[in-house]
Amino acid sequence: MRVILASPEAKVWSERKHIPLGLGYLAAVLREGGHDVMIYDAAIEDVGVDFYLDQAEAQGKPYQMIGITATTPLMPDAWEMAKLGKRRGLITVMGGPHLTIMPMESVQPPHSDYVDYIFRGEAEYSFLELINTLEAGREVGIIPGIHFRRGDEIIASPESPMIPDLDALPFPAHDLFKIERYTNLQPLTDGLDRHARSFTILTSRGCPYKCTFCSKPVTGDTWRARSVESVIQEWKWLVNGLGATEIGVTDDIWNLKLPRAKELCRRLIEEGLNTVPWVTVHGMKVNHTDLELFQLMKAAGCKRVGFGVENGDEHMLRNVIRKGQTLDQVREAFANAKAAGLQTMGFFIFGMPGDTEETMEKTIQLALELDPKLANFMLAAAFPGTVMYDIIKEGGQVFADDWGDFAIHEQKTRFTMNEGYDPDMVVQKWREAYRRFYLYRPERVLEKMMFKENWTNLPGTFSQIKRFFIGSKDQSAHKEPEVAAKIAV
Ligand code: B12
Ligand code: SF4
């Protein structure tokens, strides 16, 4: 079957563009199964998906199916894409984190008019099964993790089991990405290289921690690691076969098992793969590190490590966020990473339920004390399926027009709590954090001024200044409750 796998544009992210690796995995499995696949990522394309549909039709080889991926804030665009696919007579399939959490929504009106099948969870094997079934002209029966409509009936199968042996999967179809259109992964290099050949790699899936803001609907709570050997083979392909200029490790928690993490670094060194810089895109868990790990990472070509610090208040960290780490462990990890010569990056969340002016002040103080090369201050966003979302539903109020509003970093708070929670204060402290970290310290201002990108892309620089430091009128902290009711949750 001819299948186009598509991702809508992530307007909620940033200037940086990363490959949608999940689609790469699906494409690889379909390709192995004898199907013809294209990956369309709206974030890096100049033309709409219909351009490729027209082109394929003109060549007499029309696509028969469109498979669309989506996180929560991408849902409105994902549905538009499905509508377009249906208008063009394609079978429409959707999957990804949001569909895993809320599959019913998309098989009910009005979306059921244009969405044929929904997949929940890891779908490499189940999606292939659907395509083989349809191609063979057989009736679709119970395929793991599927939701679809048969007449008036909604068929929902049991969960798709998480893939136990990740080594059994083919490597993602990295060669199908228009890689020169993606940007580099790290904002710390001088200038955003829009033609970097930046690939990402998953060395494991899942995470046993249960941070209350985190949603892991697809990869789950069970950590499943690929063998070091399999990771090395994929890394070799990226570096030697596809000319990677940078690699991003995007696991939920790649360093859960310290000996394995060290072994991976040793093998990268042995294989001479340490010439291409790599970064941990989302972060490492501070309490599974030691100085030796950071030294090995440095020797293995790692440039930057990110850590989820989240909050500067021990009580918030332990009891509200349930991060499973202490402030001392945070301090130690930063000190060790810096001692090993790695750039550091810290992720901090503002406005978790229970956050007050005082706890947010502690978060700012901690950021200043740790002084990472880059501090990423984020506003808490309550994604459905998280403990945090349930806490807010119970004792507060979510503000949002539609799923498109569920984005981290979008300069508005998205909820309030009934007692002692001030959404306006949250935005104020969040913006203050940026000012105090980046603006009020001469060495930081100087550092920013040295960034070529800030001068070559002046409109981008001004929009960042406005966004983080000044704000605009439409950034009112919240909307009226009636508006919130529009979302069916
Ligand atoms: C790497 C990553 C990014 C990267 C790259 C994103 C990209 N282009 O893929 C960047 C940094 C850009 C990013 C940004 C964002 N991210 Co992100 N990101 C991840 C991360 C860590 C790994 C993604 C991944 O590769 N997963 C592994 C692959 C194998 O899984 P997958 O992509 O889900 O695909 C599988 C299934 O979902 C399914 N599937 C997926 N699509 C489809 C389509 C069809 C047709 C079918 C049948 C099946 C199917 O099959 C795939 C193979 O098994 C995940 C955490 C996680 N563990 O998933 C968070 C995660 C997906 N991100 C999340 C969020 C919130 C965001 C942002 C919205 C943040 C923001 N700014 O507000 C943005 C949105 C960007 C976007 N494109 O949607 C949340 C999503 C929660 C939710 N409810 O939707 C996650 C789960 C993190 C978390 N724990 O909270 N992200
Ligand atoms: S935030 Fe990180 S450590 Fe916490 S549950 Fe999510 S992936 Fe695991």
User: According to the model, what pLDDT value does residue 413 have?
Assistant: 62
Do 248 and 127 share a structural domain? no
pTM: 0.93
In a domain, 163, yes or no: no
- CA of 210 from ligand 2 middle (Å) equals 6
CA distances 321 to 108, 209, 284, 433, Å, are 34, 11, 16, 19
Do 262 and 151 share a structural domain? no
For range 242-246, the mean pLDDT: 95
- Report the nearest atom of ligand 2 relative to the CA of 216: 6
In a domain, 389, yes or no: yes
Do 349 and 253 share a structural domain? yes
> At 114, is the secondary structure helix, strand, or coil?
coil
- Report the nearest atom of ligand 2 relative to the CA of 208: 8
In a domain, 166, yes or no: no
Instruction: Determine what percent of the chain is predicted with pLDDT higher than 70.
Output: 87
In a domain, 176, yes or no: no
- Higher-scoring residue by pLDDT: 249, 453: 249
- CA of 252 from ligand 2 middle (Å) equals 6
Ligand 1 touching residue 140 (CB < 6 A): no
Residue nearest (by alpha carbon) to ligand 2 atom 4: 211
Q: What is the CATH number of the domain that holds 100?
A: 3.40.50.280
Pairing between strand 2-7 and 36-41? parallel
Do 210 and 125 share a structural domain? no
- Report the nearest atom of ligand 2 relative to the CA of 252: 7
- Cα–Cα distance measured from residue 252 to residue 274, given in angstroms and rounded to the nearest whole number: 22
- Higher-scoring residue by pLDDT: 405, 189: 405
Task: Give the count of beta carbons closer than 10 Å to the beta carbon of residue 264.
Answer: 25
In a domain, 167, yes or no: no
Q: Answer yes or no: is pLDDT of 70 > 70.
A: yes
Do 198 and 145 share a structural domain? no
Q: What are 430-439's pLDDT values in tens digits?
A: 999 999 998 8
Residue nearest (by alpha carbon) to ligand 1 atom 17: 71
Structural domain span for residue 271: 184-484
Residue nearest (by alpha carbon) to ligand 2 atom 3: 209
User: According to the model, what pLDDT value does residue 485 have?
Assistant: 31
Do 240 and 141 share a structural domain? no
- Report the nearest atom of ligand 2 relative to the CA of 253: 7
Do 57 and 124 share a structural domain? yes
* Segment among 85-99, 139-153, 214-228, 459-473 with least mean pLDDT: 459-473
- CA of 96 from ligand 1 middle (Å) equals 7
- Report the nearest atom of ligand 1 relative to the CA of 97: 84
User: According to the model, what pLDDT value does residue 196 have?
Assistant: 84
Q: Answer with the one of 156, 175, 200 that is the final residue of a domain.
A: 156
- Cα–Cα distance measured from residue 181 to residue 425, given in angstroms and rounded to the nearest whole number: 39
Q: What is the CATH number of the domain that holds 382?
A: 3.80.30.20
Do 80 and 189 share a structural domain? no
Do 440 and 313 share a structural domain? yes
> What band does 183 get if pLDDT is binned at 50, 70 and 90?
confident
- Cα–Cα distance measured from residue 365 to residue 167, given in angstroms and rounded to the nearest whole number: 43
Ligand 1 touching residue 123 (CB < 6 A): yes
- Cα–Cα distance measured from residue 168 to residue 166, given in angstroms and rounded to the nearest whole number: 5
Residue 442, both tokens: 């001469």
Ligand 1 touching residue 86 (CB < 6 A): no
Q: Answer with the one of 156, 172, 207 that is the final residue of a domain.
A: 156
How many domains is the chain partitioned into structurally?
2
Q: Kindly report the CA angle at 292 between 287 and 297, in degrees rounded to 5?
A: 90
Do 206 and 128 share a structural domain? no
In a domain, 359, yes or no: yes
In a domain, 165, yes or no: no
In a domain, 162, yes or no: no
- Cα–Cα distance measured from residue 85 to residue 441, given in angstroms and rounded to the nearest whole number: 51
Q: Answer with the one of 105, 139, 156 that is the final residue of a domain.
A: 156
**If you average pLDDT over every residue of the chain, what do you get?**
89
Ligand 1 touching residue 71 (CB < 6 A): yes
Do 355 and 421 share a structural domain? yes
Q: What are 194-241's pLDDT values in tens digits?
A: 778 999 999 999 999 999 999 899 999 999 999 999 999 999 999 999
Best residue for ligand 2 mutational test, from 213, 214, 219, 289 (most atoms within 8 Å of Cβ): 214
Query: By the 8 A CB rule, do 395 and 353 touch?
Result: yes
Do 86 and 131 share a structural domain? yes
- Cα–Cα distance measured from residue 76 to residue 309, given in angstroms and rounded to the nearest whole number: 31
Q: What are 266-325's pLDDT values in tens digits?
A: 999 999 999 999 999 877 999 999 999 999 999 999 999 999 999 999 999 999 999 999
